[in-house]
Amino acid sequence: MFIDDTIAAIATAPGEGGIGIIRISGSNSLKVAEEIFKAVSGKKISEYNSRTLVYGNIFDGEKRIDEVLVAYMEGPRSYTGEDVIEINCHGGFISVKKILELILTKDVRLAEAGEFTKRAFLNGRIDLSQAEAVIDVIKSKTDKAQEVAQNQLEGSLANKIKSLRLKVTEVLAQLEVSIDFSDEDVEDVTYKEIEEKSLELREEIKKLYDSAESGKILRDGLKTVIIGKPNVGKSSLLNSILGENRAIVTEIAGTTRDVIEEFVNIKGIPLKIVDTAGIRETEDIVEKIGVQKSKESIDSADLVIIVLDSSKPLTDEDLEILESAKSKKTIVLLNKIDLDQAIDETAIEEFVGKDNIIKISALKNEGIEQIHDKIESMVFAGDVKSSSNLVITNSRHKDALFKAYNSINDAIDGIEQRLPYDFIEVDFKNIWDYLGYINGDTVQEDLLDTIFSNFCIGK
Ligand code: GDP
Ligand code: ZN
């Protein structure tokens, strides 16, 4: 695709701030900037080295609009891979808006959402997985999630996909040669070699695919419900968890004003605690909305934390709560271990297993670290390591990997049955295509539009 127009947009968030940045990208960038900008030095922007900040003023004809710093980043070494101008002006609504309007009277149009990043992709500066990481970096809720997104932006997934596709190419090449020179002795060797490579490939694809569960949680948060009878210590627990962990509160756009999401950072995992407000005001879920409703909140949760008072015997209500969480990932907290114990642990083990029971004292802040460890090991289960920064966080990538995985299974079946080479070749061509969805090599134009429309304007 050939891009020849020049685009501009405000790159900073709207509102009052120290500075506002207007970004221009495309072949007219420098020309437009020279027209509206006068450096205090009297020199032209083009007389400075690329990527130098030049101090001066923006003029609309004779009228001075704002005092600014301008940087020219000559393509291809720029964000979009094209010639880019960035104008740093005073923050707030008026300066940026006036300068952008002035620019748009020239041969420049307003950029669409995500168009700068889309151009970086179309110009081959980054692959699609890197472009998609840009939005993840912006939206990441914990340091760990940001690290994973940052790594993807730097190309960790891009490189992995590249190396997997290289292996596919090698098999395809081998199949091509074998189709031309078939001979029974060679044939058997070929099948064995391809099979070996296929098994390795399957293993690698599976490992990536398996990381998607943790990845989704890192990206969207682990929807958690804290449940238990009144007075067992839910509010106290929440306070001790919140006490040491920065909570991030985001308002959900387009919903009623009272709806907020609260994230607690547990070892880099964003825990999205449902109905926090209710718990904090000691209007407990069970108390306030009854057992039926609390069952509903269990249904929509990824993780259920059941709090029990270990200084008291189990009641029917406790058992009912344990029963209703049976199909969910559950942690049972036996709170108040600082008091004399009266609870029947074996009865609880029957519901959740010994490993998922943790003894704590919310009051004395004991056992809280174990809760964190438990959550971490639940999220990063199996082969997925919490230290790994190559985690699939995007459902589109996950779908593509699933398709590639099915195709590699088909290929392996075919090899085992000693099907003709061209049958197996079809499967490998599919794997090549599916992996190409991830880096954008084989992706459709309309899908690109959908992906980039999720970005903000100016990115
Ligand atoms: P909730 O109704 O489940 O939210 O329970 P609260 O957190 O409001 O606690 C109820 C009562 O139990 C309060 O008086 C707390 O101080 C007390 N409590 C909470 N955790 C502990 C604990 O670990 N040990 C003791 N001894 N008391 C606790
Ligand atoms: Zn409470």
Residue-level pLDDT at 188: 75
Dump pLDDT digits (tens) for 342-353.
999 999 999 999
Q: Name the band, by pLDDT with cuts 50, 70 and 90, for residue 291.
A: low
Residue 280 has pLDDT above 60, yes or no: no
Specify if 370 maps to a domain: yes
Q: Ligand 1 atom 9: the closest Cα is on which residue?
A: 233
CATH number of the structural domain spanning residue 294:
3.40.50.300
Q: From ligand 1's centre to the CA of 253, what distance in Å?
A: 35
Share of the chain above pLDDT 90, in %: 64
Q: Ligand 1 atom 6: the closest Cα is on which residue?
A: 233
Pocket of ligand 1 (CB under 6 A): 228, 230-236, 282, 284, 335-336, 338-339, 361-363
- Smallest-distance ligand from the CA of 230: 1
Strands 247-251 and 260-266: antiparallel
- Same domain for 155 and 122, yes or no, is no
Q: Ligand 1 atom 10: the closest Cα is on which residue?
A: 231
- Same domain for 22 and 74, yes or no, is yes
Specify if 334 maps to a domain: yes
Dump pLDDT digits (tens) for 8-45.
999 998 877 788 999 999 999 999 999 999 999 999 99
Q: Name the band, by pLDDT with cuts 50, 70 and 90, for residue 258.
A: very low
Q: Ligand 1 atom 25: the closest Cα is on which residue?
A: 336
Specify if 290 maps to a domain: yes
Share of the chain above pLDDT 70, in %: 90
- Ligand 1 mutation pick, 312, 363, 366, max ligand atoms within 8 A of CB: 363
Specify if 445 maps to a domain: no
Q: Ligand 1 atom 28: the closest Cα is on which residue?
A: 363
Number of domains into which the chain is organized: 3
Q: Per the annotation, where are the binding residues? A: 23, 86, 125, 231-236, 250-256, 275-278, 459
Describe the strand order of the beta sheet including 303-309 as a list of residue ranges: 247-251, 260-266, 269-273, 222-227, 303-309, 329-335, 357-359
The average pLDDT across 86-97 equals: 90
Contact assessment for residue 125 and residue 81, using Cβ atoms and an 8 Å cutoff: yes
- Same domain for 190 and 87, yes or no, is no
Q: From ligand 1's centre to the CA of 336, what distance in Å?
A: 7
| Higher-scoring residue by pLDDT: 267, 34 | 34
Specify if 457 maps to a domain: no
Residue 259 has pLDDT above 80, yes or no: no
Question: 428: domain range?
Answer: 131-211+393-440
ipTM of the complex: 0.98
The average pLDDT across 397-410 equals: 98
- Ligand 1 mutation pick, 226, 227, 234, 236, max ligand atoms within 8 A of CB: 236
- Smallest-distance ligand from the CA of 334: 1
- Same domain for 255 and 329, yes or no, is yes
CATH number of the structural domain spanning residue 171:
1.20.120.430
- Same domain for 12 and 141, yes or no, is no
Residue 308 has pLDDT above 60, yes or no: yes
- Same domain for 32 and 118, yes or no, is yes
- Same domain for 263 and 151, yes or no, is no
> Average pLDDT, whole number, for the chain?
88
Residue 311 has pLDDT above 50, yes or no: yes
Q: Ligand 1 atom 14: the closest Cα is on which residue?
A: 231
Segment among 146-150, 172-176, 384-388, 443-447 with least mean pLDDT: 384-388
Residue-level pLDDT at 283: 47
Contact assessment for residue 392 and residue 208, using Cβ atoms and an 8 Å cutoff: yes
Specify if 36 maps to a domain: yes
Among 78, 102, 126, identify where a domain stops: 126
Among 108, 126, 144, identify where a domain stops: 126
| Higher-scoring residue by pLDDT: 54, 291 | 54
Residue-level pLDDT at 321: 86
Q: Ligand 1 atom 17: the closest Cα is on which residue?
A: 233
Residue-level pLDDT at 395: 93
- Total residue length of the chain: 459
Q: Name the band, by pLDDT with cuts 50, 70 and 90, for residue 435.
A: very high
Residue-level pLDDT at 275: 61
Q: From ligand 2's centre to the CA of 376, what distance in Å?
A: 25
Specify if 295 maps to a domain: yes
Structure tokens at 435: 């992996």
Among 336, 356, 379, identify where a domain stops: 379
- Same domain for 354 and 296, yes or no, is yes
- Same domain for 136 and 262, yes or no, is no
The average pLDDT across 68-93 equals: 94
- Pick from 9-23, 296-310, 364-378 the range whose average pLDDT is largest: 364-378
Q: From ligand 1's centre to the CA of 236, what distance in Å?
A: 6
CATH number of the structural domain spanning residue 68:
3.30.1360.120
Residue 115 has pLDDT above 80, yes or no: yes
Segment among 2-16, 192-206, 279-293, 323-337 with least mean pLDDT: 279-293
Please give the number of the atom of ligand 1 that sits closest to the Cα of 228: 3
- Same domain for 420 and 320, yes or no, is no
Specify if 221 maps to a domain: no
Residue-level pLDDT at 251: 44
Residue-level pLDDT at 313: 96
- Same domain for 342 and 434, yes or no, is no
Residues 286, 291, 292: CA angle, nearest 5 degrees: 130
- Same domain for 239 and 370, yes or no, is yes
- Ligand 1 mutation pick, 226, 231, 239, 307, max ligand atoms within 8 A of CB: 231
Strands 303-309 and 329-335: parallel
Structure tokens at 53: 């900040």
Q: Per the annotation, where are the binding residues for GTP? A: 231-236, 250-256, 275-278
